[in-house]
A and B are shown apart, each in its own frame.
Chain A
């Protein structure tokens, strides 16, 4: 008989037994050994149907397919761009994925994205830790202009975005800033006024610090109203 040994949203440590039996399936941050499922990360236990997941409390961002990330161009070669997204290795954007427009074979690639430029890219392929491909073709991918860049824990990103983007829309509406959130924890903020940008940053920092607490949307709403 299969049973769950940990309560929902409890903190688990690596090697802790999470479930016994074949009725449940290990997902991210969990693995099966024999009939039992163990945690491989320090994080919060999460049960979704039959899937067992451990949401890590912190740590480096690990690239995943279909993640939208923000990165900085570190190198331009004749056929590729290399982008630093905060992962141990640079991510490669090949020529054919560089833009929605046609790029001729002998084009000067620095005209599109130069070293030091900030870009939004989508990860399309993760072959191994060293070989990660990204695309700039897909909707939403673009070069970012002048703006404030802040770094948060990548595990807090879902909380910053909120359900269907509710939290980030709240901040955008209250501050009037353009905000782009990358899954890797880099956030780009650009507004007409540096005070408003600072307010947006403070709100995001507040979410990051209190990500575990409930009723966070109301708290942030009050915070933004008070600061106005």
Chain B
């Protein structure tokens, strides 16, 4: 199958007839997933489906960031999503996935951490992003990052009484956001650069590069995976592809 996928890419074609920089369709986002969470989103890219939920908690700040809130990202690869995922403590794949999502949000400055501070040195908001893949049909990274961003976009802050979070009661204040970064992963198969692989194509990847791009077109975070390297030209090409795809994805996010 790996040889076959490479052969088919050499003919400038893909398994399902898409172009190299085309995402699967339909891409859907719904925000009414959980009414007990501060924010939530269900994202479908083709058959891949991911649920993201935002919980907001209060706590003491870290010693090195006395006036800043915190962000905690967690991905759990549920056995329901794929036969390759097993229950138990998170493995390398889950850890890496949560790191990529976390990096896209944190390094881009999406969250306004200083506004998440209630009293300097004493009390700050902790934003907890939980991501649950429901079906893994390829390209979990982009779907997870997209779901996290979509959930954060409609997340609100909870009601506080005596510095304690009231479960299930929300204020109308949105979680303060500065920019909206969207992650697009460019995969390298042979010498071809491709986006949004499906499950069969994922078997053949040599390397991948996840790129988070904001509205202004700036690249905010990158993470590479796989054992093969990218040349400088390829990185430039990958960034170009990612920007183009993120533009299209952004139209879905309203």
Q: Is chain B's interface secondary structure helix, strand, loop, or mixed overall?
A: loop
A146 with B16: CB separation less than 8 A: no
In the complex, B234 has a CB within 8 A of chain A: no
Among A54-98, those with CB < 8 Å from B are none
B1 engages A194 (CB within 8 Å): no
Among B1, B11, B13, B16, contact of A149 (Cβ-Cβ < 8 Å): B1
Inter-subunit contact B17/A195 (CB<8 Å): yes
Q: From residue 145 to 166 of chain A, which have CB atoms closer than 8 A to chain B?
A: 146-149
A146 to B200, CA, bound (A): 14
How many residues of chain B get a CB closer than 8 Å to chain A's CBs?
11
Chain A interface bracket (under 10, 10 to 19, 20 to 34, 35 or more): under 10
By the criterion CB–CB under 8 Å, are B3 and A194 in contact? Answer: no
B6: nearest residue on chain A (CB-CB)?
A146
**Interface status of A198 (Cβ within 8 A of chain B):** yes
Residue B15, interface by CB 8 Å: yes
Query: Chain B nearest CB: distance from A115 CB in Å?
Result: 13
**B160 contacts the other chain (CB 8 A):** no
Nearest-neighbor residue (CB-CB) of A150 within chain B? B200
Contacting pair B16 A198 (CB below 8 A): yes
In contact, B4 and A198 (Cβ under 8 angstroms): no
Contact in complex: A148, B15 (CB < 8 Å): yes
**Distance, CA A194 to CA B3, complexed state (A):** 14
A146 adjacent to B17 (CB under 8 Å): no
Most chain A beta carbons < 10 A, residue from B3, B4, B7, B17:
B4
Interface check B8, CB cutoff 8 A: yes
B16: chain A residues within 8 A (beta carbon): 198
Find chain A residues with CB under 8 A from B1 CB. 118, 148-149
Contacts of A146 in B (CB 8 A): 3-4, 7
A198 and B17 contacting across the interface, CB-CB below 8 Å: yes
Interface string of B1-28 (1 = CB under 8 A from A): 1011001100101011100000000000
Residue of A nearest to B5 (CB): A148
Task: Give chain B residues whose Cβ lies under 8 Å from the Cβ of A195.
Answer: 13, 17
The distance in angstroms between the C-alpha atoms of A189 and B61, with both chains bound, is: 59
Report B's interface with A, CB cutoff 8 A: 1, 3-4, 7-8, 11, 13, 15-17, 200
A residues near B (Cβ < 8 Å) are: 118, 146-149, 194-195, 198
Interchain residue pairs A-B with the least CB separation, the first 5: A194-B13, A146-B4, A146-B3, A194-B8, A198-B17
